[in-house]
Structure 1
């Protein structure tokens, strides 16, 4: 039951990340179409409509950060993160498990620090009503909160993987690598 709940959380992160990328594509498409319509109107001797999305690059950047952070947990579970596996492949199963445990513990500590730092930054932005510098003033705690959410999911996924490895089972990313054929070097 908990496994299904966690997998659904990681999947929800993927879905939200995909929606953020779709939103970027739609915003850029609207901006491009607006320019095409304006150029066409000018070529016909008409006044341009003036379709423009204020602070598109800034909004796109926020959405991109959201997509990247929200996808971290699911990407870990599906072996999508770049890993150097040469050392892991050169040792036996017991040292490999010890290495996975060590790496997961280090990643958990680094992610915990990043999560804490992002939380403090988002809290400060909320407390001081900090806004972005662009023409459209976005409250900075919103994209920072999405970073916190993504890092929180990633921290949870790292805990999940560490518990699995400590129980003597293979981590999901190792199983995913084996299914892809990368474990054998193919």
Structure 2
């Protein structure tokens, strides 16, 4: 049940990433059409940038879970058995630590922006914590995904499930 919930969470994050990608296209096309008609809609470029950041961060967990991240297996591919398993655990552990560190500070950035009342420099004056929230949530989901994979491999899951040899550069 937990596996289905986590996989559903990663899929939901991937769907949100796709939604933000579509919104980037809509915002850019709207901006171009407005300019061609001699009009200007303030904030469209900033919102497209916010959508790009949200899309990138929401896609991290889904892409990792689907094995879509590019991995350079120059060392891991040469290891076998227990040595490969230990090296994979070390890599997942280091990645989990770094992802948790990133998530912690992005959450802290959102809190500080909210407390200070930071707003964007554009005409729209969007409170910055709103677009920053997508980065914080996406990085948190990525950290959860890495920890999930670390625990799965430690408990005996096949090593090549996420980011397997098909996505590797060897």
1:9 is matched with 9
> Using CA pairs below 8 Å that are at least 6 residues apart, which structure has the higher relative contact order?
2
- Tell me by how many angstroms 1:182 deviates: 5.0
1:54, 1:135 within 8 Å by CA — same for their partners in 2?
A: yes
TM alignment of 1:40-51, pairs within 5 A: 50=39
- CA distance in structure 2 between the partners assigned to 1:10 and 1:141 by the alignment: 23
Could you list the runs of 4 or more consecutive aligned residues of structure 1 that deviate by over 3 angstroms after TM superposition?
Answer: 180-185
2:89 is matched with 101
SS in 2 for 1:86: coil
2:18 is matched with 18
The unaligned stretches of length 5 or more in structure 1 are 39-49
Distance 1:74 1:133, change over 3 A: same
TM alignment of 1:28-107, pairs within 5 A: 28-38=28-38, 50=39, 52-107=40-95
Scaled by the length of structure 2, the TM-score of the pair is 0.92
- Tell me by how many angstroms 1:27 deviates: 1.0
Distance 1:61 1:97, change over 3 A: same
Scaled by the length of structure 1, the TM-score of the pair is 0.85
- CA distance in structure 2 between the partners assigned to 1:159 and 1:91 by the alignment: 22
1:58, 1:134 within 8 Å by CA — same for their partners in 2?
A: yes
SS in 2 for 1:71: helix
TM alignment of 1:118-157, pairs within 5 A: 118-157=106-145
SS in 2 for 1:139: coil
